[in-house]
Each structure stands twice: as structure tokens, then as C-alpha cells.
A = this chain, B = another copy of it.
């Protein structure tokens, strides 16, 4: 059984004065300092990065890390587009299942703001199918199609979507690492410009820079006297890259499969989950996630989103995206999946400061690549 014993995050945002290497190094040395451990105590590194090759002209980033951190240990790069961080965590968990007495570093970093908006849009679109790319269907467009199907099928409108952003911005205000720390209203969201109908700027997560780090271990001595959580399960599943090849556009099959497997392995119920970070790259995505993970019945998400039943002030038991989600905390893609795990870790170990949720014992993180081509669902407990 593996445990998480620490989490570090750089601020998320437009970090003009930091390179990808700076971000990696800050996260890696930050967590080492926090935990008072040295690199020689680390047996392997798992790291998530999506765009190194495309944006930075840098592949083989594992050797970059070897150089930056002065180690010769195994280093694994995982790439699954926006689920690259979740896959790094998942792969680390798999590694610890079979290698006893090991301590590993899980890193995520992405540097997205050093190129133009059209260049980063094109770079992100490499996670869409060639046909989608060729007709100009970038990710706002893909998720907009999913949103249209959902709203039409279940009789909702843009106000229902807007509630997701209002809630996540309210949460993000309390997160000192968040890209955006301001409240937005339903009217703010509805009045923001369309990106791809029916999705608007304020339905959409931003382009962010940032790095995150976790230390995981199955060495009981490393866990002693440290604030730790147990990884109960981490599961991944896939689906077609093209949305045109899917049976339905109002659900994400990879999330359903990974979620069901994660709950089977964790041996707990949905009602046990106190805090949850889900992949809200666009407002519609959080609604689909809650339904596909089995928390809400299919088609009820619009109403429940509008009622903000997962808001920290709702008085309910399951609070979603206490970090602010991708929407407000930011979305440096390789870091996001690790930030989600980190936020759950902070909540379960009572280190979430102003945004602490009371009595949280179990948490879930849900990270998606592309329009649902890959999903990773992980369940943690104290």
C-alpha cells in the first residue's frame, strides 16, 4: 500500500520569469526542503508533461531531470495530454505496488505562456484527432459540441453551466496558489464572450504555467511522524480519440470505466467521498464528470450544478474542486493531475488552510486527457 507524505506546488499563472526547468527544479527542491529529505533517498521519479516536445522542442525530459537533480535513478515520463500528471501518479502507484521499501518523487510541470495564443491552441489540439484538427475543431469546440448535446437532451441552458464556474471561482479565492483569485457571478459568466457556443471565456480553464510535486512511499519508516494519506486505488481507462467515433456525446466512457474500477478496488462507496477534484477544463466537463463517476444520475447534473450542491458552503458532504479546479486554480496541463491529488492530500491531512473542509476522510481525483480519450481516477483515504 502506498502513501503520500508531502505535496508542493509553485504558484499557477502566467509565470513570465520562469522556464520549464525553473518550474521543475522549484517543485522538486521545494518538496525536498519541506520534508527534510534528500535526493539520495528518492528511488525513482515519475513525471507528467504534455508539451515539452511541441512547445519547448525538448523530448527526453527524463535526462533533463537527471541533470537538474544530479541523479542516475529511473525516471519515467508519462504523456497522456491533459492527463499526463494523473498518469504520472498512477504509474508511480503501480511501481510502488511491486517494489518494496521505495520512495518516489512524482512531478508535473508545464510551461504554456511563452508562445502565442494561436500557437498554444495548435499545440493543445495535438491531443485531438487529425480530422478534428484539420477542420479547426480545437478543444473549446469539442467540449462545446458535448455541451450542446447535453443541454439540448436534458433541457438545460447556459445558466446551468455558469454555476460551475461561479462555484469554482469562489473556491479559488481561498487558494493562494490559484491562477485566478476573484469571485465571478452568473451574470459575469453569461456576459463573457463566446469561445465556442455555448461555452464562454468564463466557462473555460486558462492557459497556465506551473509545477507540482508529491512524495509517495511504501517504506513505513518514511511515513512515521509525517502527515500521510493512503492511496486506496488509482485506475485508468481509454476511449476513442475522435468524438465522432463515440456512442454518446453526453457521457465520457473512459471516466465511467476508470471510476467504477477505482471504487471496486478502494472498497468504499460514493457516499464516503468528502472532497473531490474533477477535471473541469470547461464547465460542462465537471457536470459530465459528476454523472459519469456515479455521483449524480445522468441528466440531473444541470440542476444539481445550478443548486451548487458541491459548494463548500452548501452544507453537503461531498465538496468538489476545493482548489478552484482547473477553472480558477489554473491548468498547466502536466501539473493538473498532480495538483488534484495534492489538493485532496492537503484536505485529508488538514493542511488546506483557509479552504479546509471539515472532517474529510476520503477523497477522489479525476483527470482527463483530450476530450476523454484517457481518464485517471484515484481514491485516497486517511
Contacts and interface: CB of A to CB of B under 8 A. Distances in A.
B72 A238 contact: yes
A240 B98 contact: no
Contacts of A78: 76-78
Contacts of A125: 57
A73 interface: yes
Given A54-B53, A91-B91, A94-B98, A241 B60 contact: yes
A67 B126 contact: no
Interface string A39-54: 0000000000011011
A237 B44 CA distance: 9
Interface string A130-146: 10010000000000000
A114 to B, nearest CB: 13
Q: Which of A74, A75, A78 is the most central at the interface, judged by chain B CB atoms within 10 Å of its CB?
A: A74
Interface residues of A, number: 54
A97 to B, nearest CB: 4
| Interface core residue of A54, A62, A91, A94 (most chain B CB under 10 Å) | A62
A53 B98 contact: no
A239 B63 contact: yes
A374 B71 CA distance: 12
Nearest to A65: B238
A60 B370 contact: yes
Contacts of A129: 64, 67
Interface stretch (A79-87, A270-278, A350-358): A79-87
A374 B75 contact: yes
A60 B81 contact: yes
Name, among A53, A54, A60, the residue most crowded by chain B CB atoms within 10 Å (CB to CB): A60
Nearest to A257: B72
Given A54-B54, A94-B95, A75 B126 contact: no
Contacts of A310: none
Contacts of A236: 74-75
Interface in A211-263: 235-242, 245, 253-254, 257
A60 B239 contact: no
A130 B58 contact: yes
A65 to B, nearest CB: 7
A33 to B, nearest CB: 22
Which 8 A-B residue pairs are closest in the complex by CB-CB distance? A63-B373, A98-B98, A97-B98, A66-B238, A63-B241, A67-B240, A60-B81, A60-B127
15 contacts: A53-B54, A58-B126, A59-B79, A59-B126, A59-B127, A60-B126, A60-B369, A60-B374, A62-B373, A62-B374, A63-B240, A66-B239, A72-B257, A94-B98, A97-B99
